[in-house]
Amino acid sequence: MTSPLWTSDEIAAATGGRASQAFDVTGVTFDSREAGPGDLFLAMPGSLYDGHDFLDKAFAGGAEAAVVSRPIERPHVLVEDVAAALEALGRAARARTSATVLGVTGSVGKTSTKEALFAALDRGHPGQVHRSVKSYNNHTGVPLSLARMPRDPTFAVIEMGMNNAGEIAALTRQVRPHLALVTAIAPAHIENLGSEEAIADAKGEIFEGLEPDGIAIIPNGTPHRDRLVKAARRHADRIITFGSGDADVHAVHAVSSEGGSLISAALLERELTFTISQRGDHWVSNALAVLAAVEALGEDVAVAGLALADMGGLKGRGARHRVALADGEALLIDESYNANPASMAATLKSFGEEREVVRRIAVLGPMRELGAHADALHAGLAPAILDAHVDRLILISDDMRPLAEAIVGKVSFDLVDSVGEATGLLTQILRPGDAVLVKASNSIGLAALVEAVKEGAPCST
């Protein structure tokens, strides 16, 4: 019989709460929509909603028990503060595991690299690798990811994000990674942090949580490399760089193809030629980071290379869809989940390398959290658009006006007010042989456009 993820006694001990009765759970969630048979539902407080209002829905979905701050008639653990209880449960999960824990952060590529690390390690240890799901990387997502960790995995890959200084420091103390990886430094969240140097410092906080003999993996192709190395030296036993130039792990050759990229890489102790199923320099960098981590842990890099070759595009992060049209099909590239200047430039460069394309159409929405730099950074996308040979642009909202003004007379474009208007326009102009790139910050809601175009239905967003 499989051991439960948590028993009622363990939950009560971890959280300082009181169990109403004995029970076991096999999963943990704070989203009533995700609650399934055997789950523990945490009735989290919120600024708009209170999780206690969704208890009936969670139990209707099959939840076994709940963590609550007021008594209920169902099986539960009563605590003073449910949010604090979640963090305590995450800490307890970390304390009881013997897994090798990997922490991942960075301005861009966090989730993609986390997923690639999972694929690489799981290929060698099937079913023995735990990871954060989705982009659960903040003050609630990280403890939830830890609390969901099985009792005896071989590896755990935990993603950490931030909006302000000090947030990674708090998360890394919970995660306590054996290996900490920074993917890249870029002006994401510059509105709150003010400069790329401050962003690098904030990302470098991940090293503060390293366990003894810990390993730091650092991008070489950033002007802030030395800043990150300095931060890592205070806590890491070993520092490995990846990427361009004189990096410890670097690409000797990298060639893009329709199916992805072929890479010959110089690793720490050997060379490896492998393929990845994604295109673009940013994915080459992600792959090098993954192989640096895998080799540093003493795992089989050849097996990891096979996993990278088989890894498909992620929803909202490069997933490719063939859209059936009356006389053929079009290619739809879904990058709708996130956007900042670095990821926009990298994705546009990759888009420009698409082959056998009749027209390139880019549907772009605003990049958020850029503050006073927003207008300049949006306008600064113009060279990448021109270099990508984009034939038609659909720009969403007045926030994109600086970019529109920068490309007047150079690229045909429409500036529209909403995702719904962009969807209607795209479906009108889409023709066989077109390649469409869709990218914006997640809050813009471009995922609705992707789904609508895939299904051939209008979008009301």
User: What value does the mean pLDDT take over residues 392-401?
Assistant: 96
What was the pLDDT predicted at 34? 94
Could you please report the per-residue DSSP string of 384-421? HHHHTT--EEEEESGGGHHHHHHHTTTSEEEEESSHHH
Which is the CATH superfamily of the domain at 6-80? MurE/MurF, N-terminal domain (3.40.1390.10)
370-375 CB contacts, 8 Å cutoff, 24+ apart: 370/187, 370/190, 370/191, 370/340, 370/341, 371/190, 371/191, 371/192, 372/191, 373/187, 373/190, 373/191, 374/191, 374/399, 374/402, 375/402
- Whether the per-residue pLDDT at 359 is higher than 70: the answer is yes
Q: 324 burial class (0-12, 13-18, 19+ CB within 10 angstroms)?
A: exposed
- Whether the per-residue pLDDT at 257 is higher than 80: the answer is no
The residue among 202 and 311 whose pLDDT is bigger is 202
Taking only the tens place, the pLDDT of each residue in 258-267 is 667 889 999 9
Residue 108 is labelled as binding a ligand: yes
Of the candidates 412, 291, 421, the residue with the CA atom closest to the CA atom of residue 360: 412
Tell me the sheet residues that pair with 274. Answer: 263
Of the candidates 151, 296, 149, the residue with the CA atom closest to the CA atom of residue 214: 296
What was the pLDDT predicted at 460? 37
What was the pLDDT predicted at 209? 97
Residue 111 is labelled as binding a ligand: yes
User: What value does the mean pLDDT take over residues 293-300?
Assistant: 98
Taking only the tens place, the pLDDT of each residue in 308-351 is 988 876 676 778 889 999 889 999 999 898 888 888 888 898 89
Angstrom CA distances, 69 to 80, 85, 144, stand at 5, 10, 18
Taking residue 119's Cβ as centre, other Cβ atoms within 10 Å add up to 21
Does the domain formed by 319-455 have CATH 3.30.1300.10? no
Query: For the chain, what is the mean pLDDT?
Result: 92
Helix/strand/coil for 440: coil
Residue 109 is labelled as binding a ligand: yes
What was the pLDDT predicted at 329? 93
Residue 157 is labelled as binding a ligand: no
Q: What is the band of 189 on the pLDDT scale with cuts at 50, 70, 90? A: low
- Whether the per-residue pLDDT at 90 is higher than 50: the answer is yes
Q: What is the band of 457 on the pLDDT scale with cuts at 50, 70, 90? A: very low
User: What value does the mean pLDDT take over residues 35-53?
Assistant: 93
Taking only the tens place, the pLDDT of each residue in 414-450 is 999 999 999 999 999 999 999 999 999 888 999 999 9
What was the pLDDT predicted at 313? 67
The answer to pTM > 0.75 is yes
Residue 423 is labelled as binding a ligand: no
Q: What phi and psi, each to the nearest 5 degrees, are found at residue 408?
A: -55, 130
What was the pLDDT predicted at 458? 42
Residues 6+ apart with CB under 8 A from 458: 420, 423, 424, 427, 452
- Whether the per-residue pLDDT at 297 is higher than 70: the answer is yes
Taking residue 377's Cβ as centre, other Cβ atoms within 10 Å add up to 18
Q: What percent of the chain has pLDDT over 90?
A: 78
Secondary-structure class of domain 97-310 per CATH:
alpha beta
What was the pLDDT predicted at 314? 67
Place of tokens 């474009």: 413
Residue 110 is labelled as binding a ligand: yes
What was the pLDDT predicted at 163? 85
Task: Name the residue ranges covered by the structural domains of the chain.
Answer: 6-80, 97-310, 319-455
Taking only the tens place, the pLDDT of each residue in 341-352 is 888 888 898 899
